[in-house]
Amino acid sequence: MKLGAHVSSSKPFSQAVDRAKTIGCDCFQIFANSPTRWSPVDIDQTEIEKFIELNQQPKLEPIVIHGIYLINLASENHYFYLASIKSLIDDMRKAKKLGALGVNFHLGSTLGRDFSIVLPKIVLAIKDVLAAVAGPDLILENSAGAGNIIGDRFSELGTVIKAVGSDRLKVTLDTAHAFASGYDFKSRSGIDAALLDFDQEIGLNRLVCLHLNDSAVPINSKKDRHADIGKGYIDIAGFKNIVNHPKLKNLPGIIETPSNKGLGDVDNLKILRDLID
């Protein structure tokens, strides 16, 4: 399994590559825009070229861009809805320039409405994004299930994917989110059952990335709380099962573990590497 982390892309943007290499990444994830602002960030062409140049010898791949936190493709607010589409298109264009695998994002919230009511808006938005930029994948991420957040069940992601009907619509599986949504990603039997459901609802061929995060909350808590590897409820035993599972071990695994306390990225990556048989 290739392992990496979400790394800072603060200026200078190109240094994200060196930051990833310094902590021992094989692959990595970045923001290409400020995660809490609608306005896209301009990246100079020279920085893009330097980013590509730095990512040689050795080359880290895949690179994944994470969409901003504000996106809601089910929003009733016309401005937020269009701004969400615009933001994803901008990220996809940057992904294409950087040679990234694609853009990973959360679909948003129903805000109390039935999923069936908001589905057409979601599908239309995704089709618009895919039509605007050829090449990179658009990657849906499962959610932790808090409130009315879309995508805590694999069936919801599968419904969106089937309705869009594009081979470029893929999925990232976040272990902490799945665990908080009731999928047992600790035991081997639980992982087997979860992946069977994933395959039936979505198709394992669409799974392109893992977010390897321990969960600071118990299973089915419906809360998005990440923990360092082995410091949460999934625990070391769970991650040993995950990184060695025959249906997961060849996927890239990216950590998004807490950076302001506890273990750092270097230690979290080392723990995961030591678990690989």
- HSE on the CB side for 34, CA within 13 Å? 8
CATH number of the structural domain 3-275: 3.20.20.150
Whole-angstrom CA distances from 277 to 82, 134, 175, 246, 249 are: 46, 38, 20, 11, 10
Give the span between the Cα atoms of 185 and 191, in whole angstroms.
Answer: 5
> Which has the closest alpha carbon to 193: 134, 245, 228?
245
The radius of gyration of the chain's CA atoms, rounded to the nearest angstrom, is 18
In the chain, domain spans: 3-275
pLDDT per residue as tens digits for the range 69-111: 999 999 999 999 999 999 999 999 999 999 999 999 999 999 9
User: What average pLDDT does this structure show over 226-248?
Assistant: 97
pLDDT tens-digit map of 155-186 = 999 999 999 999 999 999 999 999 999 999 99
d(CA 7, CA 87): 20
Confidence of residue 260 (pLDDT cuts 50, 70, 90): low
The pLDDT, as a whole number, for residue 40 is 94
State how far the Cα of 181 lies from the Cα of 170, in Å rounded to an integer. Answer: 20
Q: What is the mean pLDDT of the chain?
A: 96
Whether the predicted pLDDT of 259 surpasses 70: no
pTM for this model (two decimals): 0.96
Q: Hey, what are 72's tokens?
A: 């809601």
* ∠ Cα 216 217 219 (to 5°): 130
Residue type, 247: K
pLDDT over 80 at 215, yes or no: yes
Give the DSSP letter string of the chain. Answer: --EEEE---PSSTTHHHHHHHHTT-SEEEE-SS-TT-SSPPP--HHHHHHHHHHS-SSPP--EEEEPPTT--TT-S-HHHHHHHHHHHHHHHHHHHHHT-SEEEE---B-TTS-HHHHHHHHHHHHHHHHHHS-SSEEEEE-----TTBTTSSHHHHHHHHHHH--TTEEEEEEHHHHHHTT---SSHHHHHHHHHHHHHHT-GGGEEEEE--EESS-TT-----EE-TTSSSSHHHHHHHHHT-TTTTTS-EEE---SSSSS-HHHHHHHHHHH--
Beta bridge partners of 218: none
Cis peptide upstream of residue 218 (ω within 30 degrees of 0): no
pLDDT tens, position by position, 136-160: 999 999 999 888 999 999 999 999 9
